[in-house]
Each structure stands twice: as structure tokens, then as C-alpha cells.
């Protein structure tokens, strides 16, 4: 796959495509109602908590986006940087601060929750992107996480740090959520 195609794929896999992928997973794996409810509740609770942390960070720190940094590098007070007039990101830049990445936070929650709750440790997720007109299957959490991080950098809407911190934040929230609220009953 090309860089642009991967960036496009991850441009629209928000909550609705993730929900569809989870429904597909529980159906394919034949999970009973209790295990399905536990999976959905753990993912949703983790994503909700991560969203709060992401948005708090965005508006606490107010990091500029790559497009601003690249276009205005001449005016940043650093003689070692130069602007690139006319540069545009591959995807439209969102109108709010860069740090930290909400998508990568959600991917951190999703991949961590699935790899911990699936007995084999795989994520086993089929995600469909309508923007890319493609379905991708991820067995490995790390592969899904790396694709999401790279996609956001390649699209030009995030600095790598925002993606890596978002993923780490989602991973920590998912682990805490699973350890404190969704431990199996005996």
C-alpha cells in the first residue's frame, strides 16, 4: 500500500467503523452475550476516558499543527528553520491543536483491550474505511498501532510525538480500565 492510501485509510476509521469491526469480531469468534458486553464496555469506557484526556491535553498545551509549523517556520525565531510556502497536508488539517492524537489514543485502547481479552493475544480485527474503499485485517496490535501512527504523520495532520503519546495514553487507560473494572469474575 502507498503512503497516501494508508493515510486515507485511517482518515475515517473513527467510532462507527470501530464499532462495526467489533461487531464483526464478536460474531466471527462466537462470543456469548457476557463476553461481548464485557468487550464492548471495556473498549467504550477506555475510549471515553482517553477522549477526555486527549482533549484536556489539546487545550492545555495548544501545540501547533505541522501545516502551521511548516508554513511559518521563517517566523519561529529559529534561524536554522525555513518555511515552505504553499505546503499543504495530504488531509485537511483539523481546526484544533495537534497534541495529542485522538485517533491514536483510540487505537491504543482498542488494540490493548482486544489483545488482552482475546485468549490468543491477537486483535483479530477487520476495519473498513469508506474513504479508502478497503477493509484491512489486523491480527497484531503493534502492526495496527504503527499503521495508525504513520498514517497520521504521512497525512500531514500530526507530528509523530502527538501520535506516539496518544497511543501510549490509550494503552495506559485501557490497561487501567481492564485491571480495575473488567477483571473476569470467578
Q: Are 42 and 183 in contact (CB under 8 A)?
A: no
Assessment of whether the complete model's pTM goes beyond 0.75? yes
Provide CB contacts within 8 A for 152, sequence distance 6+. Answer: 7, 10, 101, 103, 104, 158, 162, 163
Q: What is the pLDDT of residue 183?
A: 74
**Domain boundaries along the sequence of the chain:** 3-65+97-181
Residue listed under C-alpha cell 502492526: 143
C-alpha cell at 57: 491535553
CA atoms of 33 and 48, how far apart (whole Å) = 22
* Predicted pLDDT of residue 126: 98
User: What integer pLDDT is reported at residue 76 of this predicted model?
Assistant: 87
> Does a cis peptide bond (omega within 30 degrees of 0) precede residue 117?
no
pLDDT of residue 186: 64
CA-based Rg of the chain, rounded to a whole angstrom?
A: 18
Rounded CA-CA distance 156/6 in Å is 12
- pLDDT per residue as tens digits for the range 71-117: 999 988 999 999 999 999 999 999 999 999 999 999 999 999 999 99
pLDDT < 70 stretches in the chain: 184-186
Cβ atoms < 10 Å from Cβ of 160:
13
Residue 154: DSSP 8-state = H
Amino acid at each position: 500500500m502507498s503512503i497516501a492510501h494508508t493515510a486515507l485509510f485511517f482518515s475515517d476509521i473513527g467510532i462507527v467503523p470501530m464499532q462495526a469491526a467489533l461487531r464483526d469480531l464478536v460474531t466471527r469468534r462466537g462470543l456469548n452475550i457476557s463476553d461481548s458486553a464485557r468487550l464492548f464496555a471495556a473498549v467504550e469506557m477506555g475510549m471515553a476516558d482517553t477522549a477526555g484526556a486527549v482533549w484536556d491535553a489539546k487545550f492545555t498545551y495548544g501545540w501547533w499543527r505541522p501545516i502551521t509549523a511548516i508554513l511559518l517556520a521563517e517566523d519561529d525565531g529559529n534561524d536554522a528553520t525555513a518555511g515552505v510556502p504553499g505546503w499543504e497536508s495530504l488531509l485537511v488539517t483539523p481546526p484544533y491543536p495537534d497534541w495529542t492524537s485522538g485517533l491514536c489514543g483510540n487505537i491504543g485502547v482498542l488494540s490493548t483491550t482486544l489483545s488482552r481479552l482475546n485468549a490468543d493475544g491477537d486483535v483479530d480485527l477487520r476495519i473498513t474505511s469508506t474513504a479508502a474503499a478497503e477493509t484491512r485485517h489486523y491480527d497484531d496490535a503493534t502492526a495496527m498501532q504503527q499503521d495508525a501512527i504513520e498514517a497520521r504523520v504521512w497525512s500531514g495532520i500530526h507530528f509523530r510525538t502527538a501520535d506516539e503519546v496518544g497511543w501510549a495514553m490509550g494503552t495506559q487507560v485501557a490497561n487501567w480500565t481492564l485491571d480495575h473494572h473488567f477483571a473476569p469474575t470467578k
